[in-house]
Each structure stands twice: as structure tokens, then as C-alpha cells.
Structure 1
Amino acid sequence: MPSRSAERSYADPDAAADTRAGAWLSAGPEVELWLDYDPAARELPGFALGRRPLSGPAQEEVTRLHRAGIRCLRLTEPVRLCADAPAASARALMLLREATGQGLAILWQAVCTDGCAARRRFHHLFPPEESTGIPEDVVADWRATYFPSKCVFRRGPGFVEVRDRRFGTLELFTIDEPGHLAHLDALAEGVEVSLLPEAVHRDLAEAGLIAEQAGRAWFLPMRVRRWPFPSLTV
């Protein structure tokens, strides 16, 4: 029989990582779903599909909803925008990114207590229906300047191009370093900040292309699902 001194007394890093990953996955948002954009139509029998949690990857969940005919969703919990936001808010924001890119209408409440909303980092997402802690002029600007595909990326052979109009003028970023490209798919669903190579983290953060919340970094631009007309607005 082993003595007590032979027992493991240190934390297992793999077990800790599994625990963090489990907490991240379990933080998937709950949504209420409808089959139509129009508020009047949503009141008709059969158009409301009730509530359900969305714990899977945001892209897969939104693709599945759209194929099922969903055209409007409501996030049932307020979404915090700040750097100290919990995992549930980060997961909700990624769902917002995918739903915005798919052209769904989203009803949600934004919460900000550190002034980050004024920096327009999330102004490419479908504007909030309600807000807490955000100045009225910031919310009004968000709603007035919003248009589809305001910050998008598209893939080419060996590169990703980001077109960003969140801050007024068009900014173009071309990501073609193999080390950076290798992390983009994972960043779409959130990567532990400590696991990102320093150069990847630095370059994407300086360009304003990632958010960091709940110990994870995630990619802010939405993928192009449909090209708007006229395309020169993007």
C-alpha cells in the first residue's frame, strides 16, 4: 500500500484544462426562436419555437437554425461587452457574430460598465434592442451606422482578407503568415490566451481583430456568407 508521501499532491494541468474547456462549453447561451423577422408575424400561431440552449460551436448552431427556417432569435440573458465578461457573455457574442453574418434578426440586451462600447469594437454586430450602462449617443451611433458585413473576412488560397469599417474608413488586413492562419479556425470559437503564440496574439490584438474575455481570445470579424449590394459599401 503506497504511503501518503507517494500520492500526487500537484495539480494536473491536463485536468485543469479539461475543466476550463468544460466550463466554456457549458456556458452556451439560451435563445428564444421565431420563424419570421416581422414582429407582427412572430405573434401568429406556429411562428414561435420556444427556448433552447445552444451549447455547440456558434457557426454550426447558426447554420442549423437558418436551415430550419429560423429568422429571428432573442438572447434570454443580458450580454456583457467588457474585458471582465464571463464565458456566457463571450459565447453569446460569438453567436451574435455568426447570426449577424447569416442575416438573422437578433433581440438582445448589451451591458457595459467600463466604457468599452464607445470604442466600437462590437459595432459590426446586430445592434442591441436594449442597453445598460451605455451612453445613449453611443447606442444611437451603433444603430445609425450599422450595415451588414461591416467587419468581415473571406478566404483565398493561402490568405485571409479582413475588410473592416467599424471605425468609419475602410481598413484592409491580409493574414498570410502560416502560423497566423493555423489558429484562425480555433479562434472562431475561442482559444485560451495562454495557448496563442505571442506573435499571433500581438498582431491580431494590435489590429483590433480579437476580443479577450473569460481567459479566451476569439476572432471578431464575421465570415462572408452573402455579398451585399452594392459591394463597394463593404
Structure 2
Amino acid sequence: MPSRPVDVDAAGVRVDLSRDYDPVAARLPGMALGTRHLAGACTPAAAGWYREGARHARLPAPVDLCPDADAASARAVALLRELTAHGVAVDWTARCHDGCHGDGLFTHLYPPTRIDGDPDGTATAGWRNAFFPCRCVHRRGPGFVEVRDRRSGSLEVVTIDEPQHLAAVAAAAEGVATDLVPAEVRRDLVGARLVVERAGHLWWLPTRAYRWPFPALIV
């Protein structure tokens, strides 16, 4: 049963930005870029911060990963997707109470500093050790979206070219109300682990390939 839609734009995310991820360098004059309160689209915001010189971000509030996460955490995950895509290091805390951190759904995002709900740190260490840029990445072509997904450990390639599916992918980048997406499209995208349903909205998970960190055939 889909969760009840909420006004996700009313859920802000606080972000502290810096030009450097090294704590010592970040304390030097001119390195801090200040605190931002994201209340709009994540994609242009993250791109703008990167152009300003941001290479490190800190999310002070924990980000819930579980299916009952609120709108603020859902938007924070979308922001993490965009920051990861731009190569920005992120200091953040994940929070999980039902063990969902173990399914690998979010392990293509920049690893959290810790996971509340992972008392021995095993999941946190596994996430950090397995992470690499473009672990689950998509690129757009004329009339299709290709996803290259290595979250399971092996490469899975998914090509999306049906008009309804492409429309849902575009809308889910910033969150689209679940009931606006046809049930069969929602089932396909959720089943492929390309979207998650949070706060009554669907959210796109793969990062964008703004540039290749390795030769393309390796990714």
C-alpha cells in the first residue's frame, strides 16, 4: 500500500558546504561556503554548489533509509544522489531501524560516516569498502535511458525506452507522487531497484554520469 503523499517541497534539507573535505584545510580562511537550506530541486542546487567550488558537504540531520522515512529524508537521499554524481564528499549519518541497510539499495551513494542501527559497524564498513564512483549510474540518449548497476556485485544493464517509463524516470528525479505513475510502470521500476517509494512519492536512485571516472567499459 503506497504511503500517503505529502508536500515534499515543504521539507527542507540543511547542508554545510566547504571547498575541501580535509578538516584541517576546511578551517582555512575562504574554504567554508556556508550553510544552505535546500527547499527546491536537488539537481540544479547540487550543480550550482559544485560550480561555486564545493567539494565537501555535511548533512547535520540523520537520513532515514527505511520505507517509512519522512519527506526530509527522501529529499536528502535525492540530494546525496546528486552530490555523489558530482564527486562531492559527504559527511552524513544514515539511520535504519528495520535492517534495510543490508539490502544494498543505497550503496552507490557516498558512504555515510556511520549508520544508526548498525551497532558493530559491519554494514558501514562494507558500504565504504565497496563504494566506487558510478556504481549505479545512468546516461541518457535520444529516446532511452541506460542504467549500469553494480550494486549486486556484478554488472546489470537496463535500457528504458518505453514512453511511460521514461516520463516516470524524468519525474522521479525530484520526486513524483506515487499515484501519478501507472501501476505497471511503478512495479517495473521498483522491481528493478531503480526507484524507491518514500513519503508518498517515487524517487530515482541511479546517479547521473556527468563524467566517466574510469574507461567506460570498466564502469
State which of 147, 154, 160 in structure 1 corresponds to 2:132: 147
Matched, 1:70 2:54: yes
- For residues 140 and 77 of structure 2, the distance between their equivalents in structure 1, rounded to whole angstroms, comes to 22
2:12 and 2:194 map into 1 onto residues whose CA distance is: 22
The reply to whether residue 216 of structure 1 matches residue 201 of structure 2 is yes
- SS of the residue corresponding to residue 76 of structure 1 reads coil
Q: Which one of the candidate residues 198, 203, 221 is aligned to 2:188?
A: 203
Match of 1:56 in 2: 40
Please give the TM-score of this superposition, normalised by the length of structure 2.
Answer: 0.94
Match of residue 191 from structure 1 = 176
Distance 2:164 2:201 in 1: 18
Instruction: Work out the CA distance in 2 between the residues paired with 1:126 and 1:84.
Output: 22
- Counterpart among 140, 143, 151 of residue 166 in structure 1: 151
User: Who is 2:116 aligned against?
Assistant: 132
Residues 161-214 of structure 1 show CA distances to partners (whole Å, capped at 9, x for unaligned) of 000001100001010111111222111011111111112101101111111111
Q: 1:96 aligns with which of 62, 80, 85?
A: 80
After superposition, the C-alpha distances for 1:19-67 in whole angstroms (9 at most, x for unaligned) are x3xx311212101110113222101122112222011211010011011
Q: Deviations over 1:116-143 (max 9, x none)?
A: 0000000000000122102522111100
* d(CA) in 1 for partners of 2:136, 2:159: 13
Rg (Cα) greater in structure: 1
Equivalent AA in structure 2 for residue 210 of structure 1: V
Cα offset, 1:219, TM superposition: 0.7
Q: What's the % identity of the aligned pairs?
A: 52
- Alignment partners' CA distance in 2, 1:80 and 1:179: 29
Runs of 4+ in 1 over 4 A off after TM superposition: none
How big is each residue's C-alpha offset from its partner over 1:84-125, in whole Å with a ceiling of 9 and x where there is no partner? 000000000000000000000100000000110000000000
Separation of aligned partners in 2, 1:136 and 1:129: 10
More helix by share: 1
- Partner SS, residue 73 of structure 1: strand
The residue aligned with 1:6 is none
1: CA distance, partners of 2:216 / 2:31: 33
- Tell me how many residue pairs correspond in the alignment: 215
What is the aligned partner in structure 1 of residue 64 from structure 2?
80
SS in 2 for 1:67: helix
Q: Which runs of 5+ in 2 are unaligned?
A: none
Which amino acid in the other structure matches residue 193 of structure 2?
G
Match of 1:180 in 2: 165
What TM-score, normalized by structure 1, do the two folds share? 0.88
